[in-house]
Copies of this chain bind each other. A is one copy, B any other.
Amino acid sequence: MYPQNQWYAAAWSQDVTNEPLARTICGEDIVLYRQPDGRAVALADRCWHRQAPLSMGRVLDNGDLQCPYHGLEFNGEGVCTRVPSQECPPRKARVRAYPLSERHRFVWVWIGDADEVDERLIPGLHWNDHLDWVGEGGTLTIACNFKLLVDNLMDLTHETYVHSTTIGDEKLPGAPVDTSVENGEVSVRRVIPDHDPAPFWKAEIANALEYQGHCDRWQIIRFIPPSCIAIDVGVAVAGTGGPEGHREQGVNAYVINAITPIDERNTLYLWNFVRNFDRGNAQRTADIQKRIEGVFLEDVAMLEGQQRAMDRGGETRMVTLKIDSGIAAARRMIDTLI
């Protein structure tokens, strides 16, 4: 079960082209494509006629999508505009069209009742396309329920163990954590003061500010329903005030996480890591993209291991520790939407 009447990130905008793209979202097979005028379209990925996958078809010059099997054509509203074998298509010939919106470099698809569509509900991941922030991300498919990925990102103490060679830090689990729920979002705030930073951050602040000493580090995790997470992360020269202080004395980034259920056991994960330092350096952008993907692939192994354990059955109870207050709040919020 998935939250209904919600926007889900279906793809990076750049991946929706005139080559149809098949995606399954909340168990629904959907074809995404872009019309010649630039408009992106989401239709049910099954021809009205004989259930052939429209994603195997092609986009015509007029922007309609042609079924690969018998050539029926559908416009962006899902209405059948042509049946090659007869003069007029039947009036009821149509496939479901999904409300679609592009924002913050993602293509969002509305799952639920189309009459309830509301663009104000699109998760506000504005860092992803704001000029102050630079970064290139990626797309992963993970064989786990989407809630396990939400859990993963709502408690970053796992970095110490799963990502010990890059962003993990022994001091992370012990740092005090503040969890709050406000305006329908969950916020988890953690600051590690005055410490020798983890390898990733040590390199970044050295490079950006030629600084090699102790730092204050922060992680401010924000859960945005139904399943997006934006994380304000950074380090600054120790004692300069942390996230509320002189951020210009440090380096800052946002981890953008758009999490979309494929089905109960698979999740589409669109991620980015956008930074406000060394923004003109394309080589650094590519380098960080590669390193962050490596970090996320470590999470994939863990998440799929969890899912396999749960699929095996038996005792699969989850325990909520103090560090899991953010997880618990996000899960409660998801549950109220289902």
Identify the A interface with B (CB < 8 A): 24, 27-29, 45-46, 48-53, 56, 66-71, 83-86, 90, 93, 151, 155, 157-158, 160-162, 173-174, 301-302, 305-306, 308-310, 312, 314-316, 318-319, 321-323
Instruction: For the complex formed, measure the closest distance between the CB of A198 and the CB atoms of chain B, giving whole angstroms.
Output: 15
Instruction: For the complex formed, measure the closest distance between the CB of A65 and the CB atoms of chain B, giving whole angstroms.
Output: 12
Given A71-B160, A157-B85, A161-B66, A51 and B310 contact (CB-CB distance below 8 Å): yes
Q: Which residues of B contact A71 (CB under 8 A)?
A: 157, 160-161, 173
Oligomeric state, in copies: 3
Instruction: For the complex formed, measure the closest distance between the CB of A2 and the CB atoms of chain B, giving whole angstroms.
Output: 14
Q: Which residues of B contact A70 (CB under 8 A)?
A: 155, 157-158, 161, 173, 323
Nearest residue, chain B, Cβ from A314: B28
Asked if B322 and A50 sit within 8 Å, CB to CB, the answer is no
Main secondary structure of the interface of A (DSSP, over half): loop
The 4 lowest CB-CB distance pairs between A and B, nearest first, are A84-B173, A85-B173, A85-B323, A53-B305
Asked if B319 and A83 sit within 8 Å, CB to CB, the answer is no
Asked if A53 and B306 sit within 8 Å, CB to CB, the answer is yes
Asked if A321 and B52 sit within 8 Å, CB to CB, the answer is no
Q: Which residues of B contact A160 (CB under 8 A)?
A: 71, 84
Instruction: For the complex formed, measure the closest distance between the CB of A132 and the CB atoms of chain B, giving whole angstroms.
Output: 33
Q: Which residues of B contact A53 (CB under 8 A)?
A: 305-306, 308-309
